[in-house]
Amino acid sequence: MSPLAALLSPAHLLAANGLVLPHVNYTAIMPELILLGGMLLLLGISAVSPRHLPTQVYATATAGIGIASLIASLVLWHDVQKGGPFSAVARAVDIDGFATLVLVLCSCVVILGAFFAAGFLEREQVQGVEYYALALISASGAMLMGSANDLILVFLGLEILSIPLYVMAGLDQRRAASGEAAMKYFLLGAFSSAVFVYGIALTYGATGSTNLASIGSFLAQNVVVSNGVLLGGLALLLVGFGFKVAAVPFHMWTPDVYAGSPTPAVGFMAAVAKIGAFGALLRVLFSTFPTLRTSWQPILWALAILTLLLGALVAVVQRDVKRMLAYSSINHAGFILLGVQAGTSRGAEASLYYLFVYSVLVLGTFGVVAVVGGRGDEGHGIERYRGLAHRRPLLAGSMAVLLLAQAGAPFTTGFFSKLYVIEASIAAHSYALATVAMLSAAIATFFYLRLVFAMFGERAGRQASVAVPVAPAGAGAPGGAAGQFPPVGTLPAGPAVASAAGVLTLERAAGLVDPGRAEAAAVADDDAGPVVADADLQVSPWVWVGLALCVGTTVVLGIWPSPLVDFARHATLLF
Amino acid sequence: MSVHASWYLVLAAVLFSIGAVGLLVRRNVLVMFMCIELMLNAANLTFVTFSRALNDIGGQVAVFFVLVVAAAEVVVGLGIIVAIYRRRVGATADDAHILKG
C-alpha cells in the first residue's frame, strides 16, 4: 500500500482525528425505522407492480405499518417504565416517557389517517401510493421531533415533518387551490425553518452546544455573558415553533392552507404538525431553558392570549367549514400553549393530554368534512350541512360528537383536555390567561353549535333555499317554483343564504312538485349545482371504521378518562 | 491580519435580514425562494463563525445538515412551483389569488 493510500484510508483518517462513530441503538429509533422502512417497501411495491394497485391495498399496508410502529413504541414505553429513560445515538435521541408518548400518538395518527385517506382517495379515484408514503415520512419526522435531544435533530425532524406536508397540500392537481395552498405552505414553512435554524445558530454560539441536555446544564452552571445572543436565539426558536403550531401572529398560512389542501390531508397535517412541534417545544423549553423561564413565559403568555382570542373570534364569521375549522385549530393551539406557558410538569401533562385528544378529534372531523365535501372536494360551505342529520343520521351524529368534544362538552375527552390545561394554568397563577381561555371556549362553542344546529335543526338544503324571498330575477320563474312547492310550514323561516346555490336549486326544483323527485333530478345532473345529492354522500367503510375509532375514543375516554390521564402523567414525571 | 469574528456575525445578520425582508416584499416566487436560501446560508455563516470562535467542530457539522435540508427543500419547492406554473404564464405570487389570505 502506498503511503498516500494509507494516509487516505478511512481508518487512518478516523484514528488521526480521533473521530469516533457513535454507537447506534436501533431499538431506540425503531418506530421511526419501521415507518421509513415501510414507506420504502410501499414505494418499491408500487414501482414493481405491473398495474395500479387499488388504494385500499396501500391503506391496509399503511395501517399495518402504523400498528407495527405502535407496538414498537409501546415496547419502548414498557422499557422506559422498567429501566428508566435512556439516551441513544450519541445522545441525540432521548427515549423517556415523554418521547414514547409522542411515538405512540404519531403511530395512532398514521393508522387513523390511513383510514380517512382510503375513503377519500377511493371516491376521488386517485391512484398511487404517494399520499401514504408522504404521510409515513411526515409522521416519522414528528416522532424524531418528540424524541430529539439535540437542536439539530429537532431541525431535521421539523423538515422531515414539513416537506412531505407541503407536497400533500398540493396533491390534488385538479384544483388550482391545492397548488396554491402548497406554495403558500411551502414559502411560509421554509421561511419559518430558516428563522428556526438561525435561532439554533445563535443558541449554539451562546452556549457552545446544540445538545439540549448540554445546553441545559451549561445554563444551570454558568452566567451567560452574551445574554442578547442567547435571548435572540430563544426568541427565533419560538418564532419557528409558532409558525408550525399556527400561533397568532404566525398563523397567516393556516386558513388558506387548510381551505386549499385535500381534506383528509388537512386532518393529518393539523394533527401531526401540532404533535411534532408541541412535542419539541415542550422538550426545548422544559429540559433546556428552564433557567430562562422568566424570559419565555411572558412571550408565551402573549402568544396564548392572541391565539385563543383571534382563533375563536375569526372562526365565528367564517362561512366555509374548512376555514372555520382552521381558525378553530388556531384556537386549540392557544389552549395547548396554556399548558406550555404554565411551565410546570402539570402543564406539560395537560398539554400532552390535549394533543392526544385534539389529534383524534381533528382527524375525525376532517374525515366527515371530506365526505360531505362531495366528489371533487369542493363543497365546504356551511349550507351543505343543513339537514344532514335527516339524510345521514349516523354521519351527522358522529360529526356532532366530534364538534361538541372540540367545544369541550362534558362526557367527552374534549371536556377533560380543556379542564386540565386551565387547571394547570391556574395552578401556575396565570389567572388572566385562564379567564381568557374560558372566554374563548365560550365563543368557540357558538360556531361549533352553529354547525351542529345546521345539521340537526333544518330540513334539506334545497327547501331552505326556496324559502329565500329575494331570489335574483335572472333565476328564471322562481315564483312558479316556490308556488309549486309543498306548503311553507315545513320550511324554516330562518335567514337562509341567498346565494347562487339557492338559485340553482330553485331552477332545479321548478316543475317538480314532489321533493323526492326533485332529489332524484338533483342526482341526475350532479355537476349542475352544489346541492347535496344522496348519491354524492357515499361513506366508504374505511371512513366508518376511522370514525368509529375516533368517536369511540372520544366518548369512552371522556366517560372513563383515567387511563389516558395516567399515561400523560407517567410521561411527564421527569420534568 | 485577521478579521474579528463579530464582523462575520454582523455580516450573517445583515444577510439574514436581507433575506427576510426580501421574502416579505418581493412577489416573484423564485426570488422569494432565493431569499430563503440567503437566510439559510446566513445561519450557516453564523454556525461556522461560532464554531471557529468556540473551537468546536459541532457547528461545522451542523452546516452540512442545513445544506442537505436546503437541497431537499429546493427539490420540493421547485417541484411545487413548476406544478403550479405549468398553467400560467409568469411566476408571480400574486397571480395565485383563489384563496383569500
- The alpha carbon of residue B1 is apart from the nearest alpha carbon of chain A, in Å, by 23
Q: What is the pLDDT of residue A411?
A: 87
Q: Which residues fall within 8 angstroms of residue A432, CB to CB, at 6 or more apart?
A: A305
Euclidean distance between CA atoms A250 and A371, whole angstroms: 30
- Using a CB-CB cut-off of 8 Å, the residues of chain B touching A141 are none
Q: What is the pLDDT of residue A515?
A: 40
B57 domain residue, yes or no? yes
- The alpha carbon of residue A527 is apart from the nearest alpha carbon of chain B, in Å, by 20
B101 domain residue, yes or no? no
Mutation to test the A interface, candidates B11, B38, B80, most A Cβ within 10 Å: B80
Number of domains in chain A: 1
A464 domain residue, yes or no? no
B71 touches chain A (CB under 8 A): no
Beta bridge partners of A95: A86
pLDDT at B84 over 80: yes
- Using a CB-CB cut-off of 8 Å, the residues of chain A touching B93 are 183, 187
The confidence band for A96, taking pLDDT boundaries of 50, 70 and 90, is: confident
Euclidean distance between CA atoms A108 and A234, whole angstroms: 31
Nearest chain A residue to B29 by CA distance is: A187
B86 touches chain A (CB under 8 A): no
- The alpha carbon of residue A152 is apart from the nearest alpha carbon of chain B, in Å, by 7
pLDDT at A89 over 90: no
Inter-chain contacts counted by CB atoms under 8 A, chains A and B = 128
**Is residue A147 a contact partner of residue A103, using CB atoms and an 8 Å limit?**
yes
B50, B61, B101 ranked by CB distance to A205: nearest: B50
pLDDT at A2 over 60: no
* DSSP at A320: B
Euclidean distance between CA atoms A428 and A341, whole angstroms: 9
- Using a CB-CB cut-off of 8 Å, the residues of chain A touching B46 are 198, 201-202, 205
- Tell me the per-residue pLDDT of A476-527, one tens digit each, with 9 for 90 and over: 333 333 333 333 333 333 333 334 334 334 334 433 334 443 444 343 333 3
Q: What is the pLDDT of residue A378?
A: 81
The confidence band for B48, taking pLDDT boundaries of 50, 70 and 90, is: very high
- Tell me the per-residue pLDDT of A74-85, one tens digit each, with 9 for 90 and over: 999 988 888 888
The confidence band for A225, taking pLDDT boundaries of 50, 70 and 90, is: low
Nearest chain A residue to B91 by CA distance is: A183
B17 domain residue, yes or no? yes
Interval A220-229 mean pLDDT = 78
- The alpha carbon of residue A12 is apart from the nearest alpha carbon of chain B, in Å, by 19
- Placement of cell 361549533 in the chain: A448
Interval A284-303 mean pLDDT = 89
Please indicate whether, in this complex, the C-beta atoms of A183 and B16 are within 8 angstroms of each other: no
Please indicate whether, in this complex, the C-beta atoms of B46 and A156 are within 8 angstroms of each other: no
Please indicate whether, in this complex, the C-beta atoms of A176 and B47 are within 8 angstroms of each other: no
pLDDT at A358 over 50: yes
B94 domain residue, yes or no? no
- Tell me the per-residue pLDDT of A334-356, one tens digit each, with 9 for 90 and over: 999 999 998 888 899 899 999 99
pLDDT at B90 over 80: no
- Tell me the per-residue pLDDT of A440-473, one tens digit each, with 9 for 90 and over: 999 999 999 999 998 888 665 444 443 334 333 3
Lowest mean pLDDT among A489-498, B27-36, B76-85: A489-498
A309 domain residue, yes or no? yes
Q: How far apart are the first and last CA of chain A?
A: 55
B54 touches chain A (CB under 8 A): yes
Mutation to test the A interface, candidates B24, B28, B30, B73, most A Cβ within 10 Å: B73
Mutation to test the A interface, candidates B76, B85, B100, most A Cβ within 10 Å: B76
* DSSP at A52: P
Q: What is the pLDDT of residue A6?
A: 46
Nearest chain B residue to A159 by CA distance is: B69
pLDDT at A151 over 90: yes
How many CA atoms lie within 13 Å of A342's alpha carbon, on the beta-carbon side?
26
pLDDT at A436 over 50: yes
- The alpha carbon of residue B25 is apart from the nearest alpha carbon of chain A, in Å, by 13
- Using a CB-CB cut-off of 8 Å, the residues of chain B touching A255 are 100-101
B42, B53, B99 ranked by CB distance to A259: nearest: B99
- Tell me the per-residue pLDDT of A170-185, one tens digit each, with 9 for 90 and over: 988 888 888 889 999 9
Euclidean distance between CA atoms A496 and A457, whole angstroms: 13
Mutation to test the B interface, candidates A185, A198, A225, most B Cβ within 10 Å: A198
Interval A58-63 mean pLDDT = 93
Between these two residues, B19 and B94, which has the higher pLDDT value? B19
Domain hosting B11: range is: 5-89
Euclidean distance between CA atoms A277 and A285, whole angstroms: 12
Average model confidence (pLDDT) across chain B: 87
DSSP 3-state of A535: helix
- The alpha carbon of residue B14 is apart from the nearest alpha carbon of chain A, in Å, by 12
Q: What percent of chain B has pLDDT over 70?
A: 85
Number of C-beta neighbours around residue B4 at 10 A: 9
pLDDT at A427 over 50: yes
Domain hosting A312: range is: 25-458+537-573
Lowest mean pLDDT among A48-57, A108-117, B47-56: A48-57
The confidence band for A306, taking pLDDT boundaries of 50, 70 and 90, is: very high
Lowest mean pLDDT among A49-53, A141-145, A228-232, A447-451: A49-53
Number of domains in chain B: 1
Continuous segment of H or E residues that includes residue B40: helix B29-54
The string of DSSP letters for A122-148 reads HHHT--SSHHHHHHHHHHHHHHHHHHB
B96 domain residue, yes or no? no
- Tell me the per-residue pLDDT of A515-569, one tens digit each, with 9 for 90 and over: 443 444 343 333 334 444 555 677 888 889 899 999 998 888 888 888 787 877 7
B11 touches chain A (CB under 8 A): no
Peptide bond into A249 cis (omega under 30): yes
How many CA atoms lie within 13 Å of A127's alpha carbon, on the beta-carbon side?
7
- The alpha carbon of residue B45 is apart from the nearest alpha carbon of chain A, in Å, by 9
Please indicate whether, in this complex, the C-beta atoms of B98 and A197 are within 8 angstroms of each other: no
B36 touches chain A (CB under 8 A): yes
A20 domain residue, yes or no? no
Q: What is the pLDDT of residue A24?
A: 84
- CATH number, position B47: 1.10.287.3510
Instruction: Give the rounded distance of the alpha carbon of A302 from its chain centre.
Output: 23
The confidence band for B101, taking pLDDT boundaries of 50, 70 and 90, is: low
A517 domain residue, yes or no? no
Q: Which residue from A366, A334, A394 is spatially nearest to A112, judged by alpha carbons?
A: A366
Q: What is the pLDDT of residue A481?
A: 38
Beta bridge partners of B92: B28
Interval A258-283 mean pLDDT = 93
The confidence band for B100, taking pLDDT boundaries of 50, 70 and 90, is: low
Average model confidence (pLDDT) across chain A: 82
Q: Which residue from A300, A17, A36, A280 is spatially nearest to A152, judged by alpha carbons?
A: A280
Please indicate whether, in this complex, the C-beta atoms of B83 and A259 are within 8 angstroms of each other: no
Q: What is the pLDDT of residue A480?
A: 37
B28 domain residue, yes or no? yes
B46 domain residue, yes or no? yes
How many CA atoms lie within 13 Å of A204's alpha carbon, on the beta-carbon side?
33
B27 domain residue, yes or no? yes
A202 domain residue, yes or no? yes
